[in-house]
Structure 1
């Protein structure tokens, strides 16, 4: 269990953390707007109830304790955020509810006369602090044995430790991503080398085939020289043309044989690290 500086809870909301002050002001403004528009406020959360006031005072104490450690604070919808740089942890403090059987109201009896009682969700009177993120530290704090006021020092220390844990996880992910990028670069380099080698081999095979065809033509001309046809008046012209064709397709004669080769690939580290 982590510990840190002792966290104390104020007796009232004077000097509360600015985030809590903002909640109170929003609630007051919302209630004034509802009353101005002739709307009922029964559906709004009652921030003046003893449990709500206690929740606000506890939240303010937690936020101040975290701010004292140089951590940044904010809101993400119904969650509070505590972080440092790119890393943050989400948490919230809320009242636990319970289901009870209560007497039906007159309006409820008018709709359901055979149901004298109804199931209703009501505040249980205690609070729960929940950390949204999965961490190795405890992520839920209840008032099973001791009130949250006596757990605040541990809660604040664990929230700060959670931010550190998130940073370590991000750094580990970044290192893993860098290793993946390095391995991917090696893979692409090898793939490019393999393709270049394949293309070079194809060119070599094509050049050898052209050389064989040229040699076949020359052998044919040599055989023709010893044949009776060699005495014809057109033979000399044909012979010159045939040898010209052989030279034209012979890569060793027309200068098209580059005698290429790839540099050795060297020692590859396939993992990239």
Structure 2
């Protein structure tokens, strides 16, 4: 687990989707190191169990809960369990995402195109929708959407992914406006190119900083630890060029 202030997120409860590997795992480990109780979620049981075990072995608090962000009832159960286990929810990181094919629109599979939108955009909507009642009961909270620079940088073969992330930006904006009175901030974290399974075949913008998942941690900690009245509807990018 990364070294950080062990009291930065003390007494906070964080739910992280896509926490089995890559960026999601790195954030889960960092939040636990900062004192938060972490609920690790993804479709793969073995991976999130490993993430939770790593946290507990380091003295942190964590549980693993299998849930597919494309299944609303599964996501609702995730947040209910998190609230039952830890007494509430303070931070939500909507990180789960896919890039299912790398074919140009004319050659693409309509089913895979639609599934990418379902997971990356509708899945983030499901995550926020299910989380809101629990955040409201706390009187404050933070939702962090993991976006992408490809929302405005189209690349051949990645139309579904780019469109889903463009929609995620607007979802972030809409949630921020609607939740302002509830003292819930909603911001977008744009990691830029990161070496993960998802980006193995993705084009890397020339001259960009290609990061490891741990390089995203400082920004994720910053967004999670901002004051309740902190900024909302903002996009925070680790890309060299917007």
Answer yes or no: same fold by TM over 0.5. no
TM-score of the superposed pair, with normalisation by structure 2: 0.28
TM-score of the superposed pair, with normalisation by structure 1: 0.26
Larger helix percent? 1
- The structure number with the bigger radius of gyration is 1
